[in-house]
Structure 1
Amino acid sequence: MSFDDLLMELKGQKSAQEESGRIALDKLLNGSFMRKHSSFASFQDFLENGNFQAETQEELNKIPDELLDRHVSRQTDFKDWKTMLEQANADYAANNG
């Protein structure tokens, strides 16, 4: 499955996720957010740089937190994955609220 397929899958889940208060990753970690907080143009580029292969949300969840935290710390403005997601959520809410 390509990253575009993953985005389509996440978009298909969009309404259920947004209704439950969760926003799809493609909306949170969009190109603008990634360019602002890292040297990457996309979340997919960020994952590939860390040698992570995650084509679905489930695969992303299987990446050990310590590995993802280390990559986030080295390659973004954030200290860890949780902080990055929190900022992405805050930015999304500010721009779409």
Structure 2
Amino acid sequence: MAVKITGYYKLPNEIEPQLIEFDKVFNISFMRKYTKYKTFAKFLTGGKFNITCQKDFEELPEELMDKHVAKNTQFKTWQEMLDFATDKYIISKQK
């Protein structure tokens, strides 16, 4: 899977939400430390999610993602994992 997944996030000191690539938010260091996977792509593949484009990811039922996250990461829900990773990414960009 070589699909680039992105999301819009309101970063500190920014007026408009910014487009962020998930490969940067969920980098190898983050994935190895907090999940059972080395990359975000392998995380999605491990969940047996058929993600071939951004739309596939956006249409993925959150309850399925929550189950996969709870089983394979240190987080209870997808939103918790996403918020934590985004916060870490923002902090790293401010350095």
Task: State the TM bucket, normalised to the shorter chain.
Answer: 0.7 to 0.9
Which letter does structure 2 place at the counterpart of 1:92? Y
Q: Which has the higher strand share?
A: 2
TM norm structure 2? 0.80
- Residue 83 of structure 2 is aligned to residue 81 of structure 1: no
Tell me the alpha carbon deviations over residues 64-94 of structure 1, each in whole angstroms, 9 at most, x when there is no partner. 1100000000000111110111011110011
Structure 1: segments with no counterpart, 5+ residues:
11-17
49-58 or 84-93: bigger deviation: 49-58
Structure 1 residue 96: Cα displacement: 0.7
Structure 2: segments with no counterpart, 5+ residues:
7-13
Structure 1 residue 22: Cα displacement: 3.4
Q: Give the superposed CA RMSD.
A: 2.3
Secondary structure of the corresponding residue to residue 23 of structure 1: strand
Query: What are the residue-to-residue correspondences of 1:37-56 with 2, within 5 Å?
Result: 37-56=34-53
Q: Which has the higher helix share?
A: 1
In the alignment, the residues of structure 2 paired with residue 27 and residue 57 of structure 1 have an alpha-carbon distance, to the nearest angstrom, of 16
- Residue 58 of structure 2 is aligned to residue 22 of structure 1: no
Structure 1 residue 55: Cα displacement: 2.6
Which letter does structure 2 place at the counterpart of 1:28? V
Following superposition, which runs of at least 4 residues in structure 1 exceed 4 angstroms of deviation?
none
In the alignment, the residues of structure 2 paired with residue 40 and residue 76 of structure 1 have an alpha-carbon distance, to the nearest angstrom, of 9
Matched residue count: 88
